Amino acid sequence: MNLRSRTGRALFAVSAASAATLGLVTPAEAAIHDCRVSGDRANCAYVTGIDPGSWLQMRTGPGYGYADVPSGRLDNGREVGLACWTTGDGAADNPNYRYWMRVDVGVRSGFVNDWYLDTGSPAVWQQRIPQC
């Protein structure tokens, strides 16, 4: 193994460790996985990055001005089915991130900003999730 390949591997290991420490999900670590929602196969992800004592509210459309979905509160770790994506309001924690997912939890569905899901990069999930 030459110095260039060792340096590249070391840099990758440091980058991956830094991402894990910061709680970031890189495209290679995207957690979109197969699951079942109401008995049907779906692409799924988990809710992440919500402050303790708070929740992610599902909305009837891709923005904070849309109505709340009744009983649409999602806690960290909640698995959701990913129906489709669109653009809308920026995330509360990152106003420039405007991707929203239509999610399904079996008994209800609605929109949430993708910033709060462990889907990884749009370049990765747009290959698996259709646009609404």
What pLDDT, on a 0 to 100 scale, did the predictor assign at position 47? 96
CA distance 56 to 70: 13
Closest by Cα among 55, 51, 53, 113 to 82: 113
CA distance 120 to 13: 18
Q: Could you list the mean pLDDT of each consecutive 10-residue stretch along the chain, which spans 132 residues?
A: 39 36 43 87 94 94 97 95 96 94 95 96 93 96
What pLDDT, on a 0 to 100 scale, did the predictor assign at position 30? 57
pTM given for the model: 0.76
What pLDDT, on a 0 to 100 scale, did the predictor assign at position 3? 39
Classify each residue of 48-79 as buried b or exposed e, where b means 16 or more C-beta atoms within 10 Å of its C-beta. Answer: bebeeeeebebbeebeeebeebeebebeeebb
What pLDDT, on a 0 to 100 scale, did the predictor assign at position 31? 80
